[in-house]
Chains A and B, each alone.
Chain A
Amino acid sequence: MDFSLLLDPSILLELLAQGLVRGSMYALMAVGLSLIFGILNVVNFAHGELFMIGAYVMYFVVASLGFPILAGIAAAAVVLFVVGMLIERVLIDPLRRRSGRGWLLDAFVLTIGLTVVFQNLATELVGSRRQGLVEMIPGSLDIMGISLSYDRLVILAATLVVGAGVWLFVRYTPLGKAIRATGQDAEAARALGISVRQIYMITFGIGASLAGISGALLITIFPAYPTVGMLPAMKSFAVVVLGGLGNLPGAIVGGFLLGIIEAFAVFFLAAGWQHVLTAALVVLVLVIRPQGLFAVQGARP
């Protein structure tokens, strides 16, 4: 390890840029995961498989049907929104009725089953061949001595836009407020006439949709194949733990933080060790600050 390399501004900048792009990949998925946990109290293990479906939708719409990139992303968002709502209504809602104190774990195990089903359904229906796009927008931007492909800039920009959109939505729209109210006190929300079941279904749909958008956006980096979601899922779990379960801004900041840490780790350690570092970091955070690094006062632990 030669830390003096950090004194070279172009290397530092390059690593920061890579970290931001990497971080934006994690953040978008983590926001969905965090949203679903914050409102429904469900830790969705199948989040990576929603990502995988998003990647397939993108491939199908863009590569097979020849529609533009934006149509692929929109299609992934819509398809996953519907898939998410179906999962909630058909599986999670019935479980909620019969589960008691073990709810968190029961729901987690249920989504584990879902992971196995989705991965193998994909293998069965489309095979395990990798199907990706080489690039969305050709070319790259050269600035301050570093070079960033347009694709990566699009990923970064899209994450910021979608992330901000979600934040504005839950913050300022009536439906967003009802979603937050349900997350804080479902019974009180119900007393005001908010249909908590509907809110749960929609929220799961939105969270799934965000995973689908990430899957579509990242298709140039992660081509579609049945188990493609596992690594991004693990990373988004790490981000959510770092940012605090259920904390949306925490998920974004945590995503960028993890991305930058990993970019530096890849540079200074041998490739592969960044995954070890991530896992160890998560263990450390869970031990020292289980409420996450950015827990705000009043947030749930």
Chain B
Amino acid sequence: MSLTISGLTAGYTREVPILSGVNLRAEEGMVTTIIGPNGAGKSTLLRAVFGYLKPASGTVEHFGRTVTGLEPEQMLTEGVAYLIQGRSVFPSMTVAENLELGCWTIRRDRRRVLDALARAYEQYPRMAEKRNARAGSLSGGEQRMLEIARITMTNPRTLLLDEPSVGLMPSLVEEVYQQIGALKKAGYLILLVDQNIRKALQIADYVYVLKMGANSHHGPAAEFKHRLADIIKEWI
């Protein structure tokens, strides 16, 4: 099962598309990393898939269902979750409240919500300890952990991760990537964009390179690892 993007064109204004005809296929249980120079449209691609901006043309298929241009809330019911760039915890609400809000689309199913909470606390004991603390009082690494825990609450199949390590110090980057590794083991389909190319390639199974909003290369991650230096040189 997979996430398939075909000929996706999108942008913030109609006249200037950021993405023009992007094709991509990501498989379940794998990490697919998108790399590219600044302004290549990596984050825009994730945003267009998740419904923050409407594609002008092209299709997105998720596990056999067409999900092109759906709203974020509908994407979540389709099993796609999105970790947005930068800080996104609700700082003046508690950790528990933040996690409950992660269950928004399943809020009417009380049992599922309780299950999801229990699961999250089991998986992230730190969050259980601090469940009544204000999210804003957590350390940077803990906030990231909360954000990652929060997007898995609805049991999605696909995670779109937009710059998960941005703004974190190196030791915490390591920690975040361990969490992503655990998510990969748990069988999620992961589509990853990160400034930290080295880490993003290490964890990747398959790699796409975008340039100027269009496909450049793609292939299994192993092929890219030794060619990385060449590719980056090409961007400069």
Report which A residues bind B (CB closer than 8 A).
174, 177-178, 180-181, 184-185, 187-195, 298-299
The 10 A-B residue pairs whose C-beta atoms are closest, nearest first, are A188-B88, A193-B105, A193-B73, A193-B76, A184-B90, A181-B90, A191-B82, A191-B84, A193-B104, A190-B72
B38 / chain A contacts, CB cutoff of 8 Å: none
- CB within 8 Å: A-B pair count: 67
Q: How far is the CA of A174 from the CA of B96 in the complex (A)?
A: 12
Question: Looking across the interface, which residue of chain B has its beta carbon closest to that of A184?
Answer: B90
Complex contacts, A178 vs chain B, CB 8 Å: 101, 104
The 13 listed contacts between A and B (C-beta, < 8 Å) are A177-B97, A177-B101, A184-B91, A190-B52, A191-B72, A191-B83, A191-B84, A191-B88, A192-B151, A193-B72, A194-B101, A298-B91, A298-B92
| Interface residues of B, count at CB 8 A | 30
The dominant DSSP class at the A interface is helix
Does B134 belong to the interface (CB within 8 Å)? yes
Is B50 located at the chain interface by the 8 A CB criterion?
A: yes
How distant is the Cα of A181 from the Cα of B102 in the complex, in angstroms?
A: 11
| Chain B 68-96 residues near chain A, CB threshold 8 A | 71-73, 75-77, 81-84, 88-93
Q: Does B61 contact A (CB under 8 A)?
A: no
CB contacts (< 8 Å) of B105 on chain A: these are 192-193
Quick one: closest B residue to A300, CB to CB?
B92
Given contacts A177-B97, A181-B101, A193-B105, contact A187 B71 (CB under 8 A): no
Residues of B within 8 A of A185 (CB): 88-90
**A174-B107, A192-B150 in contact; A187/B101 too (CB < 8 A)?**
no
Is B100's beta carbon under 8 Å from chain A? Answer: yes
Known: A188-B89, A193-B154. 10 other contacts (CB 8 A): A174-B100, A174-B107, A177-B100, A180-B90, A190-B52, A192-B151, A193-B72, A194-B101, A195-B73, A298-B136
* Contact status of A184 and B93, CB under 8 A, knowing A191-B72, A191-B84, A195-B71: yes
Distance in angstroms from A244 CB to nearest chain B CB is 13
Closest to B84 in A: A191
Interfacial chain A residues near B82, Cβ < 8 Å:
191
B71: which A residues are within 8 A, CB to CB? Answer: 195
- Complex Cα distance A193/B73, Å? 4
CB < 8 Å: which of B91, B101, B134 contacts A192? B101
Given the known A-B contacts A187-B84, A187-B88, A298-B134, are A192 and B93 also in contact in the complex, defined by CB atoms under 8 Å? no
How distant is the Cα of A269 from the Cα of B102 in the complex, in angstroms? 55
Bound Cα distance from A37 to B50, whole angstroms: 28
